[in-house]
Amino acid sequence: MLISEFFENSPVYRIGGDEFAVILEGEDFKNRAELLAAFDHQSEDNQRSGKVVVASGMAVFQKGSDRKFRDAFERADRQMYLRKSELKELNGKNIAVNA
């Protein structure tokens, strides 16, 4: 699975349908920005070559401002939908170039 390849030191959970959540731990958490950038780049490459594409979103639980885990999850979900829109736009550009 593409997600497990990038976030190999953290558990991956299927939370419904085609949605997954990763709870970053240890080195994955420490290197989260670099891992997410590489993951996003791979999804863009996959889209260009017709392979599996995954829209991602990430949020860190913020003590003091987040009252429950769900707050961070909802921020990550919003980020995922923004990323999904970006990937659709990229796909439209690829179609125009290939037409």
pLDDT in tens, the chain (99 residues): 789 999 999 999 999 899 999 999 999 999 999 999 999 999 999 988 889 899 999 999 999 999 999 999 999 999 999 999 999 888 776 544 433
Task: Give the single-character DSSP code of 33.
Answer: H
* Global pTM exceeds 0.85: no
Looking at the chain, the number of H-run helices and the number of E-run strands are 4, 2
Structure-block tokens of residue 38: 């590489």
What's the CA angle centered on 52, arms 48 and 56, to 5 degrees? 95
Which amino acid belongs to residue 64?
G
- Classify burial at 52, counting beta carbons within 10 Å of its beta carbon; exposed 0-12, middle 13-18, buried 19 or more: exposed
